[in-house]
Structure 1
């Protein structure tokens, strides 16, 4: 089963923790600014960035595997994973802080949409052990140079060596070709609420 120690170091990529929550959130929110599902869910950039920060702080930095890619002295790309066996649950205090932040910045509608999205995503997660790619994003200043592929490549290579499936939910149809080029295939399509854009669960079997 895949472990962080199985992932080979790569130039410009570093594994980070709670000290980098703000950077993880800023790059991720910038990358998802025009994402149709996240625009529907959050209703604005501020609740998006605040919620990504809380999710990084309470789940992905302490429980999972987070990396940043640095190019010419600037952090340009970010990825947040859960490895097989990692907990995707925040503490009670962390959960309350995340939902309160979403309500305070996005209102009751954003809170309802966030709860519906979280419940639907949990329902569709595969039962077998897998590496879950929650987000990979490239800041606007770094796009078009293959940084997202460079960032997730070492983890996917480790998935292959360890025989581990990888899984994600694609929230933007424009990204389907990118994920397919990495070996991900669609397994479903679902709408967390009747008026929501779809989420596309995709899995990548080890090669």
Structure 2
């Protein structure tokens, strides 16, 4: 944390992705969608370890496709991360192709049943993006030991800046499966577009449109 008390958000380099995966694994222990993907792993530490493998695979795909990952570093360690996509959002088949080298890691993380459930969720969500060009916030998480300190808000502010400096971008879009997060994102300028229920798990679709005059 800098002297002015405001977190600094930076682009994470590939060598920092391991720390980001661990932080995200811990952040999503209680997330409803990931509970559905890993229904038989209930012990928190074990769940965090399996989820970290899933996020290692996700970050491997991000590295392969050149998509940016943003993060906050505290005392030399990544403690918060935002996994994003630009306007060229990949379809499910393209994601599978890009993620083939990561399949062994995914299977170790979530098993074959979890793989099928995860792909079902991704397939449903991918069909309901806004049609206008936008940035997509795939994942945002803060290590539980550092939550409530403004790190998530700082990541959202960085994404809003990324959208603001590009006139072709209409806003930032995301989904969340946690009701408390709906209030958090709403307080940061996001509106609810609707709800989806992939594999029976409630997901809120949320969008932060740029204000008139921005971009």
Q: Per-residue deviation at 1:104?
A: 3.5
Q: How does 1:27-106 map to 2 (within 5 A)?
A: 27-43=23-39, 44=41, 45=47, 46-59=49-62, 62-85=65-88, 87=90, 89-90=94-95, 92=97, 94-106=98-110
Deviations 1:115-147 (A, max 9, x none): 111111111122221010111111122111111
In the alignment, the residues of structure 1 paired with residue 64 and residue 144 of structure 2 have an alpha-carbon distance, to the nearest angstrom, of 23
In the alignment, the residues of structure 2 paired with residue 42 and residue 63 of structure 1 have an alpha-carbon distance, to the nearest angstrom, of 28
Report the counterpart of residue 170 of structure 1 in structure 2. Answer: 176
1:13 to 4, 9, 12: 9
SS in 2 for 1:117: helix
Larger RCO of the pair (alpha carbons < 8 Å, separation 6+): 1
Report the counterpart of residue 23 of structure 1 in structure 2. Answer: 19
Q: CA 1:84–1:188 in structure 2 vs 1: closer, same or farther (change >3 Å)? A: same
RMSD in angstroms over aligned alpha carbons?
A: 2.3
SS in 2 for 1:76: strand
Deviations 1:44-85 (A, max 9, x none): 423321111111111257421111212344322111111223
For structure 1, the residue ranges without an aligned partner over 5 or more in a row are 1-9
Q: Does 1:113 align with 2:117?
A: yes
**Count, aligned residues:** 195
In the alignment, the residues of structure 2 paired with residue 101 and residue 73 of structure 1 have an alpha-carbon distance, to the nearest angstrom, of 26
For structure 2, the residue ranges without an aligned partner over 5 or more in a row are 1-5, 42-46
